[in-house]
Amino acid sequence: MLQKTSQFMKQANLINGEWVQADSGQTIDVTNPATGLKIGTVPKAGKAETRRAIEAAQQAFLSFRKTSALERSKLLRKLHDAIMDNQDALAELLTLEQGKSLTESKGEIGSSAAYVLWFAEEARRAYGDVVPSPWTDRRVLVTREPVGVIAAITPWNFPSSMLSRKLGPALAAGCTAVVKPASQTPYSGLAWGALCEEVGIPRGVVNIVTGSAGEIGDEICANPLVKKITFTGSTEVGKMLIQKSASTVKKVSMELGGNAPFLVFDDADLDRAVQGAIAAKYRNSGQTCVCTNRFFVQAGIHDKFVEKLAEASKALKVGSGLDAGVQQGPLIDVKAVEKVEEFIADAKAKGGKVVSGGKRHALGGSFFEPTVISGATTDMMFMKEEIFGPLAPVFKFDTEEEAVALANDTEFGLACYFYTGDLGRAFRVMEGLKYGMVGVNEGIITTPEAPFGGVKESGLGREGGHQGLDDYLDTKYVCIGGLGL
């Protein structure tokens, strides 16, 4: 199996076109969450290596910014093809370090390629404006230019696709990049370096450093050559990066935590709602920012929904992501398992009932049973906190107003979902929900064509859609005078 992945499993950092080790020679171990066994190491880089990567990106920017949009579009198309040509190998590498099922990994790699293709197309549409001038002898132009060096910091739950949404628009716009993948899943990020080399993206345009998050983050925030930080991860780290980068007034895009509600009304199609619930809850073992955190179900349909959700949860096949037919892999580590156990203990102590699952899986390690809890109440931990695990708490509600108020009662505002067969209700509820993304009778809604992102403490900026390019471009107003007209 490693035969396939080995060409992409880079145990080094990419700085200015060279694969290098940390100055100190220190490394970080990377383990397979399904076995707990070490699969390799990556360099433990710090400030100095990051500074060199930023300087290389700045040097490369001087020429890369002058490439035409068509040229960059062609490079991105090649990158898309290289990703798809190696989809199986990249998916195996992803499963090996992250744990998700091979089916999900292939889906993630396919999604990465799709974002790259989308931005290959968008590269050619970074239009400016010719504005009607208030002066007869002057003309008013608005142009858009790449911001410069961008720094991208990504999480472990989607180590490939979270990067595609950042590198895709960055390269499309003509920016150069310094990337810091998550320490638990660095190989899928480093693989982008190998792919970029393969398709001829010039040296220094994409640099990748792994290692001490604090040191790398501090250098990125303080270095004036970095013009933009794009981060996907926890709200806590996101807030800190916003604060630290204020000293050099950088653009920031923040894709942060969520607390997605999933509302099921009495008039919903029950089977469709259960199918959507399974997808929106258990994908990546519940470890996605758009995973349902709270189910709110109307009294008339509540008992049937809980019964069917529990049945469907029990039927999910848990196991190593590399084994055929597996639908749910392990959690990223035992700390994540302990956190899920804390949520369950808290709910039980406050009157919640475990309807299915509820404990560590017989496979041991960080495997956990898909779990449904009924009788959830607003004083339980999951009302406020992100679970990030395979636990589905179900609350009961009576009225539409009550459901919308409960759904909005959080500082987060990333994704939400609701199921109804009533068109008027669909519009009322959709307009009442304070979220960046709404799934109506759909549990999986992410696509490169649409702007992904949140409101409130879930973040700033959008990834995907035509909006996804905006944050990588500066707007320049040009007034041409003395035309003598």
Minimum Å gap between C-beta 154 and ligand NAP is 6
Among 214, 351, 421, 481, the residue binding ligand NAP under the rule CB under 6 A is 214
479 noted as active-site residue: no
Does 217 interact with ligand NAP (rule: CB under 6 A)? yes
Q: Shortest Cβ distance from residue 291 to ligand NAP (Å)? A: 8
- Closest distance of CB 340 from ligand NAP, Å: 14
Any contact of residue 233 with ligand NAP (CB under 6 A)? yes
DSSP β-bridge partners for residue 208: 14, 179
> Judged by CB under 6 A, which of 256, 340, 437, 473 binds ligand NAP?
256
Size of interface with ligand NAP, in residues (CB under 6 A): 28
Pick 162 or 372: Cβ nearer ligand NAP:
162
390-419 residues in contact with ligand NAP (CB under 6 A) are 414
- 50 part of the interface to ligand NAP, by CB under 6 A: no
Q: Pattern of binders to ligand NAP over 58-97, x per CB under 6 A?
A: ----------------------------------------
Task: Please check whether residue 215 is in contact with residue 202, taking contact to mean a CB–CB distance below 8 angstroms.
Answer: no
- Regarding 213 and contact with ligand NAP (CB under 6 A), the answer is yes
Catalytic residue among 289, 386, 400, 457: 289
Of 15-23, 43-51, 151-159, 356-364: span binding ligand NAP (CB under 6 A): 151-159
Task: State the minimum distance, in angstroms, from the CB of residue 367 to ligand NAP.
Answer: 19
Part of the chain binding ligand NAP (CB under 6 A), chosen from 67-75, 88-96, 182-190, 193-201: 182-190
Nearer to ligand NAP, 86 or 160 (CB): 160
Residue 223 within binding range of ligand NAP, rule CB under 6 A: no
**Nearest partner of 191 among 77, 89, 85, judged by Cα:** 89
Task: Verify whether residue 255 is a known catalytic residue.
Answer: yes
Confirm or reject binding of residue 293 to ligand NAP (CB under 6 A). no
Long-range contacts for 319-327 (Cβ within 8 Å, ≥24 apart)?
319/363, 319/367, 320/34, 320/35, 321/34, 321/95, 321/98, 321/99, 321/100, 321/101, 321/102, 321/104, 321/105, 322/1, 322/34, 322/92, 322/95, 322/96, 322/102, 326/101, 326/102, 327/101, 327/103, 327/282
Instruction: Pick between residue 230 and residue 374 the one whose CB is nearest to ligand NAP.
Output: 230
CB of 72 or CB of 180, closer to ligand NAP: 180
Q: Are 292 and 258 in contact (CB under 8 A)?
A: no
CA distance 259 to 406: 12
Stretch that binds ligand NAP, among 178-186, 196-204, 320-328, 417-425 (CB under 6 A): 178-186
Is 468 near ligand NAP (CB under 6 A)?
A: no
* CB 39 to ligand NAP: min, Å: 16
Is 471 one of the binding residues for ligand NAP (CB under 6 A)? no
Residue selected from 232, 320, 366, 374 as contacting ligand NAP according to rule CB under 6 A: 232
Which of 64, 156, 295, 368 contacts ligand NAP by CB under 6 A?
A: 156
Q: Is 187 buried (19+), middle (13-18) or exposed (0-12) by CB count in 10 A?
A: buried
Distance, in Å, from the CA atom of 102 to the CA atom of 279, rounded to the nearest integer, reads 16
| CA separation for the pair 9, 234 (Å, rounded) | 26
φ, ψ of residue 462 in degrees (nearest 5): -135, 145
**CB under 6 A: which stretch of 12-20, 141-149, 233-241, 357-365 binds ligand NAP?**
233-241
Stretch 8-47 residues interacting with ligand NAP (CB under 6 A) = none
Which of the following is catalytic: 55, 122, 255, 386?
255
> Per rule CB under 6 A, is residue 331 in the interface with ligand NAP?
no
**255 lines the binding site for ligand NAP (CB under 6 A):** yes
Interface residues with ligand NAP (CB under 6 A) are 153-158, 162, 180, 182-184, 213-214, 217, 232-234, 237, 240, 255-258, 289, 386, 414, 454, 459
Enzyme catalytic residues = 255, 289
